[in-house]
Chains A and B, each alone.
Chain A
Amino acid sequence: MLKTQAYNTGNDTVCFDEMLRPDFSARECYRTLFEWLQRQSPGGIRAKQAEADAIFRRLGITFAVYGAAEANERLIPFDLIPRVISAAEWRFLERGIEQRVRALNAFLHDIYHRQEIVRAGRIPSELVNGNSAFLPQMMGFDPPRGVYSHIIGTDIVRTEEDGFFVLEDNLRTPSGVSYMLENRETMMHLFPELFAAHRVAPVERYPELLRQTLQSVAPSGCDGEPAVAVLTPGIYNSAYFEHAFLADQMGVELVQGSDLVVEDGALWMRTIRGRARVDVLYRRIDDAFIDPLNFRPDSMLGVPGLFDLYRAGRVTLVNAPGTGIADDKAVYAYVPDIVEFYTGEKPILKNVQTFRCSIAEERGHVLEHLEELVVKEVHGSGGYGMLIGPRSTRQQRADFAERIRANPGNYIAQPTLALSTCPAFAGSGIGPRHVDLRPFVLVGDRVRVVPGGLTRVALKKGSLVVNSSQGGGTKDTWVLED
């Protein structure tokens, strides 16, 4: 069904396509898939897509969209054409991601201890010590194995054959891993013949690796097999499905703050068989809400005294409180320096060029080039509160210029990237759509990068916003083995 001439004409920007070269020949890792796509009939693909949608609806994988009045929950669109990454490309990404997460964990350890990087003048003191994502309460504390961020979802975009960039580091509570797992399971069910024709690296062991990682960072005084629990804010959280899914897949309890109690110098969960000790808490609640005694006193989601227990070394919180300072958008611009400072190596993965509006010179450049830039709020996420210059109206740009002038420290700007495209099933046929990639990394006794990740795809033709809150979809991501 795939007509090569039609494939690229739907694309309104000139950018790198991961399947086809400009001469319409398939890149090596896509050759088998490309040939298979050409043999499929539109009706056949449409039937498979309907089958996939039915599977996801049955599983109940939905996503709450904040601020969407018409529907509180909806299905994240799933696109059934897999994204393929070659073994060599993956080795490069894996090395780069591992280098970056090691450096960022070293950075966290340093800024919560002697702050050598500040003393060395490599990062401004104010940016760290004055940052709302920096938690002074964490200073002087040594988390088990020195790990602060254990579960990371590094957002990567591609602009050319060798052009991979890290867009965001996501060291707080990254979500999306349940989609990676469900997408794979669905694909294996729908297209066994495609898996037979490729050597796809497995992702199914993720829950097992997650449990091992969590247990490997149990408090040093813990004897026996460490007990793990997943702390969720509850059913109204947009990622509740994932919290329940991961607890279930790991075979551990899913708890809310009201199920937990700090007593006798330990953390306990109430169960029908009495209280049971918790050694490692994988918390999917933001720092501010984990403990009303130490942070926001109005939080109903947390556990009073939990942070004191953590500092006393009686329970491990994953990720550590205060990791947000390392994925702060204003700190992002310094990550290449951070990598060099702690590893002594050149960064393998590039940063996207970033203009800091807090600096007068850079702000001037941003205000003069709003039409070409993407402007983001330093503390924003999920594609909210951003301006995409090339797609913006004159009025939107004027509004943003005013907001930047009023609070420059709150904004950064980046060039609009020509995100790579992958084939997607777009209703009437197959066309190129922009994608990004969120591989999932686990850091405990060692660093594990699960081969694959979550590919997010902007299903709207020409759109560059892949966030699920903005109508993006997901795809299965295949890392080929040699």
Chain B
Amino acid sequence: MRIAVTHTTSYHSDTPARAVQALRLVPRSLRGQTVLSWQVRVEGAGGGLRYTDAFGNAVELMASHGPTTSVVITAEGVVETEDTAGVVGFPPEAVVPAVCLRNTALTEADDAIRAVAATCRRETALATLHAVLDGLHAAVAYGTGTTGSFTTAAAAFAAKRGVCQDHAHIFIAAARSLGLPARYVTGYLLTEEADAVAHHAWAEAMTPDLGWVGFDAANGQCPTDRYVRLAAGLDAAEAAPVRGVRLGAGSETLQVNVGVQASQSQSQSQG
């Protein structure tokens, strides 16, 4: 499937301040996806500093020239995808799988997560991970409003409700508690019903034979050809497409618009 993405992130503030942002907004070609074209434009800040981080993400650092009230970042491109049943394999990257057993504040399992995870043990890592996927999809409802960007896996699991970030964090916490390396992945999803969508997040876990495999607990499935993979990290904070620091006082409003479309289909925005 050919998927076109336009992803705009805008920051506006009432008082001018310096802005420094690290962008992880460039997908890479790997098993299941080929990046046909991609570009990132930034208004209000200069950049040009690029490197590949430990997880293989292309990072670009943006810094405003002096104080600014507005930064607008637009990532745009076309990706050719195919359904690999979520299998990403062994893409070239510096990080070793064992690093993905490390917990962060957002992905620390509590007793409740550990207990559920323990009931999911099966013969193989892959079967275990599918059991975790099914279990979490059933146990945690999808819903906005109860959780925020800093909600931990444990808190979201206790609330039995969350958004894709929470489902991914809980899945990661459960997998790591079983000794299976897992990580957070950001990307885009073209939904079945509207044929359009927004930014999405899911998890990847390591299996000995297949390598990294994606698990989307929010939708109870492994990624298909309707998914575009953007960046990976130990948790949502590390893999964030835009991570910024604003140096100065005053409040800030953030708006994210993502349009994802199958070639020639209609786009839709989500705030």
Contacts and interface: CB of A to CB of B under 8 A. Distances in A.
Given A262-B61, A263-B63, A294 B22 contact: yes
Interface in A122-137: 125-126, 129-130, 136-137
A311 B53 contact: yes
A141 B93 CA distance: 11
Contact of B61 (A136, A138, A141, A309): A309
B48 A139 contact: no
Contacts of B101: 126, 129-130
A222 interface: no
Contact of B20 (A136, A137, A138, A262): A262
B118 interface: no
A305 B60 CA distance: 10
Contacts of B262: none
A265 interface: yes
Interface in B218-254: 234, 243-245, 247
Nearest to A264: B46
Given A304-B247, A311-B51, A263 B96 contact: no
A385 to B, nearest CB: 23
A292 interface: yes
B99 A140 contact: no
B126 interface: no
B28 interface: no
Interface string A117-157: 01000000110011000001111110000000000000000
Interface in A233-249: none
A475 interface: no
Contacts of A130: 98, 101-102
Contacts of A262: 20, 61, 63
Nearest to A137: B54
A297 interface: yes
A262 B95 CA distance: 26
A263 B244 CA distance: 14
A309 B234 CA distance: 21
A297 B246 CA distance: 11
Q: Which of B49, B52, B53, B65 has the most CB of A within 10 A?
A: B49
Q: Number of contact residues on B: which range applies? A: 20 to 34
A139 B54 contact: yes
A47 interface: no
Contacts of B65: 263
A270 B222 CA distance: 51
B50 interface: yes
B43 to A, nearest CB: 17
B194 interface: no
A293 interface: yes
Contact of B96 (A126, A139, A294, A304): A139
B40 interface: no
Nearest to B66: A263
Contacts of B46: 263-264
Contact of A137 (B53, B61, B98): B53
A6 interface: no
Contacts of B22: 293-294, 305, 308
A293 B234 CA distance: 16
Given A129-B101, A129-B102, A293-B245, A139 B61 contact: no
B96 A138 contact: no
A113 interface: yes
Nearest to B56: A140
Interface in B13-57: 18, 20-22, 46-54
A314 interface: yes
A115 interface: yes
B59 interface: yes
A190 interface: no
B261 to A, nearest CB: 32
A196 B182 CA distance: 66
Contacts of A311: 51, 53, 59
Contacts of B95: 136, 139-140
B93 A140 contact: yes
A113 B50 CA distance: 20
B187 to A, nearest CB: 21
Q: Which of B46, B65, B234, B245 has the most CB of A within 10 A?
A: B245
Contacts of A261: 18, 63
Interface in B71-104: 93-96, 98-99, 101-102
Contacts of A389: none
A136 B98 CA distance: 10
Given A136-B102, A138-B54, A129 B96 contact: yes
A107 to B, nearest CB: 15
A219 to B, nearest CB: 12
B50 A312 contact: yes
Given A129-B98, A265-B49, A309-B49, A297 B245 contact: yes
A129 B48 CA distance: 32
Interface in A29-73: none
A313 interface: yes
Contacts of B18: 261
Q: Which of B21, B22, B61 has the most CB of A within 10 A?
A: B61
Q: Which 7 A-B pairs give the minimum distances between C-beta atoms?
A: A140-B94, A139-B54, A139-B94, A312-B51, A304-B20, A304-B245, A129-B98
22 contacts: A118-B98, A125-B98, A129-B96, A136-B95, A136-B234, A137-B53, A138-B54, A139-B94, A140-B52, A141-B54, A261-B63, A263-B46, A292-B245, A293-B20, A304-B20, A304-B247, A305-B63, A305-B245, A309-B49, A311-B53, A311-B59, A312-B49
Given A262-B63, A293-B21, A304-B247, 16 more contacts: A112-B94, A139-B54, A140-B94, A262-B20, A263-B65, A264-B48, A264-B63, A265-B61, A293-B243, A308-B51, A308-B59, A311-B51, A311-B53, A312-B51, A313-B51, A314-B49
